[in-house]
């Protein structure tokens, strides 16, 4: 989800849409796209269906600037417009070897970072993925209809299994996309923002939704005293906003990542001031005499300018004016100051939240209750449509 993170827009009220066959899906991949912006001023009216946003980040490694600018910062704006659910995707974190002594701690820390960044539990439901068991139950039901050939084609599985070694790879890495599909379909999602490395997973989610709708929906479901129609919405791709792809400090062609071996490649949200300054001082630049956006031959320059624009709150045009005749040394100084000024309040709030464990526990518990209420409705429909005998 990477998804290290993913986001989903869905309507609060389930809508019936015509189902598509997998064959027609493969013949035509034409879909409707929506752009997600952090500055949206759209306000749901009484006559419109309020949309729901679902998004999450893995509690592995340190939450970094890419996670923040690409996802969490946008959530703060979205929670004022939509019904929002933000979760810590801990089940995805165990698909590769992990430290059992750190998972719980990292999960709480990630939740605290959500809140410190401005996610408001009075507006958004914040919860832990494993605390809503419907995610796993729906994954199992979806697995029964997922051809193994579909999973074997996933590029991420091939790459990660090659790195880990075939003998060390667990089944969870292969079925990871099915869990991602469960995360998305569980909330009747309308739109999903995906990065380049997740396009295949969204296509699989769409195919699974269509497959389940065709196998178990419509009149077949009606005969089982169900609602009939489609069981799942078929999600569409959502275009990420600016900032959704922050690149590495050591390689402007690679995405900033938790899994990169060098900590120098990323700015972590909780990095102290001196470490931020040192990372920016040592980050990769180029030998061009001036600074500029959007030069394909200067990926590092474009990345650093984009980061500055986002954390300073300035427009691109304002940054262009500011950097005229500026050299790398001067720019690195103002970038460092902007990063420190932007992250310091988040770090202070994080420490306050972590020191009040009762508050954090209650936020996560209430969030899980809210999410489970939505998820259970979808799960009950799937069980019914698939013909299960349900406990009375």
pLDDT, one tens digit per residue, over 63-79 is 999 999 988 988 898 89
Q: Active-site positions? A: 160, 255, 258
Residues of the chain with CATH 3.40.50.620: 52-243+356-386
- What is the pLDDT at residue 48? 54
Query: Whole-angstrom Cα distance, residue 299 to residue 312?
Result: 20
Structure tokens belonging to residue 73: 């910062």
- What is the pLDDT at residue 158? 66
Share of the chain above pLDDT 70, in %: 81
- What is the pLDDT at residue 9? 53
Q: Each residue of 242-297: pLDDT tens digit?
A: 556 899 999 999 999 988 889 999 999 999 999 999 999 999 999 998 999 999 99
Instruction: Report in angstroms the alpha-carbon separations of 1 from 29, 57, 180.
Output: 21, 8, 7
Query: Whole-angstrom Cα distance, residue 131 to residue 87?
Result: 10
pLDDT at 199 over 50: yes
Q: Which helix (H) or strand (E) holds 84?
A: strand 83-88
The strand pair at 5-11 and 189-193 is best described as: antiparallel
Query: Whole-angstrom Cα distance, residue 258 to residue 96?
Result: 14
Q: Each residue of 109-165: pLDDT tens digit?
A: 999 999 999 999 999 999 999 999 999 999 999 999 999 999 988 866 666 666 666
Residues 6+ apart with CB under 8 A from 365: 131
Compute the C-alpha angle 315/321/322, nearest 5°. Answer: 90
Using CA atoms in the order 180, 185, 191, 192, what is the torsion angle rounded to 10 degrees?
Answer: 0
CATH class of the domain comprising 52-243+356-386: alpha beta
Query: Whole-angstrom Cα distance, residue 34 to residue 196?
Result: 16
- What is the pLDDT at residue 190? 79
pLDDT band per the 50, 70, 90 thresholds, residue 27: very low
Query: Whole-angstrom Cα distance, residue 66 to residue 270?
Result: 13
Q: Each residue of 347-367: pLDDT tens digit?
A: 999 999 999 999 999 999 999
> Domain 263-355 belongs to what topology?
Tyrosyl-Transfer RNA Synthetase (1.10.240)
Per-chain mean pLDDT for the chain: 85
Residues of the chain with CATH 1.10.240.10: 263-355
Sheet containing 51-57: order of strands: 34-35, 236-239, 189-193, 5-11, 51-57, 83-88, 124-128
């Amino acid at each position: 989800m990477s998804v290290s993170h993913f986001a989903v827009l869905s309507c609060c009220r389930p809508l019936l849409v015509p189902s598509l066959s997998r064959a027609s899906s493969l013949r035509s991949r034409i879909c409707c796209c929506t752009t997600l912006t952090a500055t949206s001023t759209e306000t749901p009216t009484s006559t419109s269906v309020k949309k729901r946003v679902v998004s999450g980040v893995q509690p592995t490694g340190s939450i970094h600037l890419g996670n923040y600018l690409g996802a969490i910062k946008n959530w703060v704006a979205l929670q004022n417009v939509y019904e929002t659910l933000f979760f810590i995707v801990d089940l995805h974190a165990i698909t590769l070897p992990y430290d059992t002594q750190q998972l719980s701690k990292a999960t709480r820390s990630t939740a605290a970072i959500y809140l410190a960044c401005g996610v408001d539990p009075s507006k958004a439901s914040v919860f832990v993925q494993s605390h809503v068991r419907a995610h796993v139950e729906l994954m199992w039901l979806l697995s029964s209809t997922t051809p193994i050939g579909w999973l074997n084609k996933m590029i991420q599985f091939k790459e990660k299994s090659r790195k880990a070694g075939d003998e060390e790879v667990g089944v969870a890495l292969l079925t990871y996309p099915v869990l991602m599909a469960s995360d998305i379909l569980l909330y009747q999602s309308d739109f999903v923002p995906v990065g380049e490395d997740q396009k295949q997973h969204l296509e699989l989610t769409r195919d699974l939704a269509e497959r389940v709708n065709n196998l178990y929906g419509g009149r077949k479901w009606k005969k089982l005293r169900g609602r009939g129609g489609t069981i799942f919405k078929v999600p569409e791709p959502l275009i990420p906003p600016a900032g959704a792809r922050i690149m590495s400090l050591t390689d402007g062609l690679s995405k900033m990542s938790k899994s990169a071996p060098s900590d120098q490649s990323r700015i972590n949200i909780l990095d102290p001031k001196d470490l931020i300054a040192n990372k920016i001082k040592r980050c990769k630049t180029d030998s061009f005499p001036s600074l500029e956006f959007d030069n394909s031959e200067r990926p590092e320059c474009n990345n650093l300018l984009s980061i500055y624009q986002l954390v300073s709150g300035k427009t691109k045009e304002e940054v262009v004016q500011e950097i005229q005749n500026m050299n790398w040394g001067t720019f690195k100084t103002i970038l460092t100051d902007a990063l420190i000024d932007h992250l310091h309040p988040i770090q202070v709030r994080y420490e306050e939240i972590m020191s009040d464990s009762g508050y954090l526990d209650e936020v996560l518990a209430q969030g899980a209750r809210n999410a489970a209420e939505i998820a259970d409705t979808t799960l009950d429909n799937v069980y019914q449509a698939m013909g299960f005998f349900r406990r009375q």
